Amino acid sequence: MGDKRSALWALLSVMLVGQSAVAQDYSYPTPPPQQPRYTTEPAYAPAPPPKPKVSAHRGFQGGFNIGVPIFLDVDKDVVRPGADLHVFGGYDIGYAMFGLDLGAMWTPIDLNKVPDQLVGANGGRSPVTRLYFAPEVRVQVPNKSPILPYLGVTFDINWWRFRETGVVCNYWYCTRVKVFRFTPGFTGKFGIAFRVNQGAYIDLGIKYSLSGAGDFFFRREQWVTPYLGVLIR
């Protein structure tokens, strides 16, 4: 009986020692190491956002200027430099302007300097008056600088008068009225506008004008007009 118990304890001891050895030799699998999180930087700087496109100026353009008309191919002692008052307005689309011009011009005529005049005659000085209406097309160079160059063309409808009057009668009475005569014409202009405030410019330029023969002139007449004024844009 004692031998059986000793053998049984010996067997149990061997089994426990073996199980302990197996447990020590066994290792549980370890999970793979986690990669650290990081953000990649681009190799080049990102492109800046696109700038919004600036649309061309659209809106009203108008102005007023005063000029000095000087006729060409005339006797300068008789036909003197005069005055030209001119207003215009139109629709501005940035690179061009389409508008209308209105104006009045006066050119003094010194009749005392007319050659072959009768001795003792005193004609004095009287102005030739021109009233005109003209559609205009203008090409301009808009830019970020305060300078705005432009070229313009007008097709002139002119009415001229020099001392001429006529008698007009109705049923009750007659009256004397001033008589204006028509001629067609053309004007080309070059100018530079200098911005002095937001939307306000000083306008400086020169015009070349031509009037064809018509009810007033018997030949083609031409003149130049330097001018100075104000432009609103």
Q: What is the pLDDT of residue 115?
A: 78
Question: Which residues touch 168 (CB under 8 Å, ≥6 apart)?
Answer: 174, 175, 176, 177
Residue type for 187, please? Answer: T
Question: Which residues touch 181 (CB under 8 Å, ≥6 apart)?
Answer: 159, 160, 161, 164, 214, 215, 216
Q: With 0.85 as the threshold, say if the pTM is over it.
A: no
Kindly state whether residue 42 falls inside one of the protein's structural domains: no
Kindly state whether residue 2 falls inside one of the protein's structural domains: no
Q: What is the pLDDT of residue 55?
A: 46
Through-space distance between the first and last CA atoms of the chain, rounded to whole angstroms: 127
Kindly state whether residue 15 falls inside one of the protein's structural domains: no
Q: What is the pLDDT of residue 189?
A: 96
Q: How many domains are contained in the chain? A: 1
Where the chain has pLDDT below 70, the residues are: 1-57, 117-122
The secondary structure element, H or E, covering residue 23 is helix 2-25
Q: What is the pLDDT of residue 43?
A: 55
Assign residue 215 the CATH number of its domain.
Answer: 2.40.160.20
Q: What is the pLDDT of residue 230?
A: 97
Range of the domain at 173: 59-232
Kindly state whether residue 74 falls inside one of the protein's structural domains: yes
Q: What is the pLDDT of residue 111?
A: 86
Kindly state whether residue 36 falls inside one of the protein's structural domains: no
Kindly state whether residue 51 falls inside one of the protein's structural domains: no
